[in-house]
Amino acid sequence: MKLRIINGPNLNMLGVREPEIYGRQSYADLEEYIARAGAALHIEVACFQSNHEGELVTLVQQARGAADGIILNAAAYTHTSIALLDALKAVALPAVEVHLSDVNQREEFRRISYPAMACKTVIAGHGFAGYKMAMEYLVELLATKR
């Protein structure tokens, strides 16, 4: 099983940006955590990060035929990007939206998610563990479809 993990703007600044919200671990630490979690679940994971909306759309589109599912942390684009919603609908792969922080306990505008409209579920507020939870969710979901 292959999962594509796509991370949006400012996640490359983990450990620096608002550590009281996002923690002190770096993006490299997140990639390492994801790799270990994927290996423990016996799945192949590929991580990507971009600060550019169009590149994120392209990464979603490229998952078609290359991955069995998508885990997306669109970061700030969560609240603005109809383009990411449309890309997820176009590729029609099972997807999970992930957020490190609990977006429902933050500013009102963070409670709106366009990509979630094309995702199977949203996992928020669990830090790095949210990515493992998303992997486990997709592994179980995809196993029932085979």
**CB 47 within 8 Å of CB 34:** yes
Residues marked as catalytic: 22, 99
Which are the contacts of 126, defined by CB distance < 8 A and separation ≥ 6? 100, 133
Q: Read off the amino acid at residue 90.
A: A
Region of residue 125 (phi > 0: left; psi between -120 and 50: alpha; otherwise: beta) = left
